[in-house]
């Protein structure tokens, strides 16, 4: 996924009220940007870190800037969760995500389960593969990529619905899109949301596949780069 317009350089002052961030531009001006991430953003929001913003000229928007990524001194971290599905879909179409090849049709946001929409639906006629995509931005002091970074009832619901698809005879995949490059192995964040960690282990045993893939993040583009090992113990 390439950015259509050059991103704007800045330095994070603070993130607050979940969806707002104050950023200092190189000119010295302070602007307020939309933060498209509802998680805690632990390890991603240190004041003073370099960030990149996109700009919209839509007069109906309250905030013309959107916070897209942050640099922690080691790597860029993509914090815009809205892009996760698009990046994952591109990774499938370009055959980087090898496990999800061989399907004729790729659809997005299709209804399934109990009043939910699956992120990606792959199909060959009656053969279906349901794929939920989660954006991963957390790396703890132990060097492991972790998800979630906050308690997620919605994520828990999605795990249950994927397991139900397996029970119905379909393929189901939990795809963790890791938008940073300074970690090693993916693990559930049991210390943050033990219920999610337990459910992830249960649905894995029930046949839901787990695919952690790392994306390469830069101010020019974000693309799926490589598969990351995972541990559930």
Q: What pLDDT score does 131 carry?
A: 98
Between 22 and 233, name the one with better pLDDT: 22
| CB-based contact 173:136 (threshold 8 Å) | no
Residue 27 — very low, low, confident or very high, per pLDDT cuts 50/70/90?
Answer: very high
**Per-residue pLDDT tens digits for 105-116:** 999 999 887 778
Q: What pLDDT score does 24 carry?
A: 98
- Can you tell me the distance from the alpha carbon of 101 to that of 104, in angstroms, rounded to the nearest whole number? 9
- Average pLDDT of the segment spanning 173-183: 98
**Sign of the torsion formed by the C-alpha atoms of 104, 111, 200 and 76:** positive
> Does residue 220 carry a pLDDT above 90?
yes
| All structural domains of the chain | 8-78 (2.40.50.580), 81-227 (3.40.1350.60)
Q: What pLDDT score does 227 carry?
A: 98
- Average pLDDT of the segment spanning 36-54: 97
- Can you tell me the distance from the alpha carbon of 197 to that of 195, in angstroms, rounded to the nearest whole number? 5
- Can you tell me the distance from the alpha carbon of 171 to that of 123, in angstroms, rounded to the nearest whole number? 10
Per DSSP, what are the bridge partners of residue 121? 107, 130
**Per-residue pLDDT tens digits for 57-82:** 888 889 999 999 999 999 999 999 99
Q: What pLDDT score does 156 carry?
A: 96
pLDDT, mean over the chain: 96
The first and second tokens of residue 100, run together, are 């999800």
Q: What is the gyration radius of the CA atoms in the chain, in angstroms? A: 18
- pTM of the entire structure? 0.95
| CB-based contact 98:211 (threshold 8 Å) | no
């Amino acid at each position: 996924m390439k950015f259509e317009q050059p991103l704007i350089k800045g330095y994070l002052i603070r993130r607050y009220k979940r969806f707002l961030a104050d950023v200092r531009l190189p000119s010295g001006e302070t602007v307020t940007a939309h933060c498209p991430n509802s998680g805690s953003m632990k390890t991603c929001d240190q004041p003073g870190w370099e960030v990149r913003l996109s700009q919209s000229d839509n007069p109906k928007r309250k905030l013309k800037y959107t916070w897209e990524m942050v640099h922690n001194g080691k790597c860029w971290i993509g914090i815009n969760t809205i892009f996760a599905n698009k990046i994952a879909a591109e990774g499938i179409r370009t055959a980087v995500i090898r496990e999800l090849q061989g399907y004729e049709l790729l659809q997005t946001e299709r209804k399934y389960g109990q009043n939910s929409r699956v992120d990606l639906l792959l199909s060959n006629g009656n053969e279906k593969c349901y794929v939920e995509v989660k954006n991963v931005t957390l790396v703890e002091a132990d060097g492991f990529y972790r998800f979630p970074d906050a308690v997620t009832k919605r994520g828990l619901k999605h795990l249950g619905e994927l397991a139900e698809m397996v029970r119905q005879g379909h393929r189901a995949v939990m795809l963790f899109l890791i938008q940073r490059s300074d970690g090693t192995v993916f693990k559930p964040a049991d210390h943050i949301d033990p219920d999610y960690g337990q459910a992830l282990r249960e649905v894995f045993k029930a046949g839901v596949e787990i695919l952690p893939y790392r994306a390469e993040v830069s101010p020019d583009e974000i693309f799926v780069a490589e598969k990351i090992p995972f541990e559930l113990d």
